[in-house]
Chain A
């Protein structure tokens, strides 16, 4: 029962990611695109935890943790690049 509801939730999250992807394509400045990427990665962390419940795989939680860590490091690098260049 709850697996079916979780699949519906996954569909709703996918719609949200599509909305952010539109902003990532039409964003006027580089900061808009960086913000859109930040939102997409944080959304995907939640999506991976729901996928771990749907497939009953404990290892996906580790994948989600490493994904959020890499997203944090990558966004700090992008912000530093925007601020003063390489």
Chain B
């Protein structure tokens, strides 16, 4: 049981490390939001569940924290993405399509 918990925590820590690396590496605010939110949500979920498996008397509290992170993290990142789109942070040069542009034009007409 302890081995399963350590493996879960290892998967979570790997995803946390890769998410933080993506924050440094990717070229654009929106790409960074994607890397940061997806990888850290998954990584935190697996880290906390792994600790809960190692210590079974802590499991329900760990599940509470994990579900809380799983619910609130997309909301805050969506708020930041919406705010940075509204104040006009540009996309990077290599991006191919921007589907919000025609939506904004349709809203204004």
Question: Interface on A for B, CB 8 Å cutoff?
Answer: 2, 5-6, 9, 12-13, 15-17, 19-20, 22-23, 29, 31-32, 34-36, 38-40, 42-43, 45-46, 49-50, 52-53, 58, 61, 64-65, 68-69, 71-72, 75-76, 78-80, 82-83
Given contacts A38-B80, A42-B40, contact A16 B64 (CB under 8 A): no
Contact B23 A19 (CB under 8 A): yes
Contact B65 A23 (CB under 8 A): no
Chain B hits for A43, CB < 8 A: 16, 19-20, 40, 43-44
**Sorted from nearest, which 7 A-B pairs have the closest CB atoms?**
A16-B20, A79-B79, A31-B84, A39-B36, A75-B76, A83-B83, A82-B83
Chain B hits for A80, CB < 8 A: 79, 83
Give chain B's interface secondary structure class: helix
Chain B contributes a number of interface residues (CB within 8 A of A) equal to 49
Give chain A's interface secondary structure class: helix
Contact A16 B44 (CB under 8 A): no
Q: List 20 A–B pairs whose Cβ atoms lie within 8 Å, in order of A's numbering.
A: A5-B6, A13-B13, A13-B17, A19-B21, A32-B29, A32-B32, A39-B19, A39-B40, A42-B40, A43-B40, A43-B43, A45-B69, A52-B58, A53-B51, A53-B54, A58-B61, A65-B68, A68-B65, A79-B83, A82-B80
Of the candidates A2, A34, A68, A76, the one whose C-beta lies within 8 Å of that of B69 is A68
Q: How far is the CA of A82 from the CA of B87 in the complex (A)?
A: 7
Question: In the assembled complex, how far is the CB of residue A9 from the closest CB belonging to chain B, in whole angstroms?
Answer: 5
Q: How far is the CA of A17 from the CA of B51 in the complex (A)?
A: 20
